[in-house]
């Protein structure tokens, strides 16, 4: 299966942001997020079990803990630590994630994502 075969599965879109060190004046720095890519066709896939708010000790908390994988076209410039906003099925709303180490293949790039925020 080549890249062209995978594009039919790319029903989502991603914007990629990278942290850029900046200066807010003497003796201070302020990091900003710089958009490095926009509207990249992709596919967001759930991996494993979803755990929404149970610690296993009978406690309930307001945090989401689940693993996702993002599939991107080959050659996509994404790095560990990048912030990724994904729009599912071309919708208006986007969910923000933190990118893990990208795995590059001839046909695609795979990146594990961590959810940023509360459930």
Tokens of 28: 């201070």
Q: What does the pLDDT profile of the chain (119 residues) look like in tens digits?
A: 555 667 778 899 999 999 887 666 666 666 788 999 999 999 998 765 555 555 555 555 555 556 789 999 999 999 999 999 999 886 777 888 999 999 999 889 999 998 766 65
pLDDT of residue 99: 95
Q: Domains in the chain, ordered, with CATH?
A: 3-115 (2.40.10.370)
Tokens of 55: 């610690």
The predicted model scores a pTM of: 0.75
C-alpha radius of gyration, the chain, whole number: 16
| Cβ atoms of residues 100 and 73 within 8 Å | no
């Amino acid at each position: 299966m080549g890249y062209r075969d995978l594009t039919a599965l790319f029903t989502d879109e991603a914007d990629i942001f990278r942290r850029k060190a900046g200066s807010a004046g003497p003796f201070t720095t302020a990091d900003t997020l710089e958009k490095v890519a926009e509207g990249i066709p992709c596919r967001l896939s759930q991996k494993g079990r979803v755990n929404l708010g149970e610690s296993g000790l009978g406690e309930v908390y307001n945090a989401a803990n689940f693993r996702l994988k993002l599939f991107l076209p080959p050659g996509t410039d994404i790095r560990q630590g990048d912030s990724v906003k994904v729009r599912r099925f071309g919708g208006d709303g986007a969910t923000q994630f933190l990118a893990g180490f990208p795995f590059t293949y001839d046909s695609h790039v795979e990146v594990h994502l961590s959810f940023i925020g509360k459930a």
